[in-house]
Amino acid sequence: MTTIELVQGDITRESVDAIVNAANSSLLGGGGVDGAIHRRGGPAILEECRKLRAAHYGRGLPTGRAVATTAGDLDARWVIHTVGPVYSATEDRSALLASCYRESLRVADELGARTVAFPAISTGVYGWPMDDGARIAVETARAADTAVEEVRFVLFDERAYEVFAGRLR
């Protein structure tokens, strides 16, 4: 059974087998969590992302999919990159957001990861409402058929932490 933990802090400081990156489809770094992971993890992550893009994802990693690279200088073995959906008030894209969590756990299983740290995917610049994003994240982690022993949601601020804590109750 998978244990779900909450931490308020910086995901790049987590000591886990795999850190999930809320990446953009280019896999070439960006802002927010993506930029922080690339900055702290160093050039090895970007180098592997470039190779993945050249070999498989020339048009970008599709939304809801996940791939893994080295974690570079992070205190983790791997970074699992997933592309969250941009929120839409007129189109239900929740299945794509759930897919980010499921696909990341599938990749973690393939790698043999036992501990995985997730950010609140799509709840930043992609505009997903925090409460709904937390609901999808927690429900998907609870329902996942995975060998991962610990899913750790690492929330950047107190508000996000409280919203996720409310969903875990």
Kindly list the catalytic residues: 34
CA–CA gap between residue 140 and residue 159 (Å, rounded): 21
Are 27 and 57 within 8 A, CB to CB?
A: yes
Name the CA dihedral angle for 9, 11, 17, 18, rounded to a multiple of 10 degrees: 150
Q: Which helix (H) or strand (E) holds 102?
A: helix 94-111
Collapsing DSSP to helix, strand or coil, 18 comes out as strand
CA–CA gap between residue 72 and residue 55 (Å, rounded): 20
Residues paired with residue 69 on neighbouring β-strands, in sequence order: 79
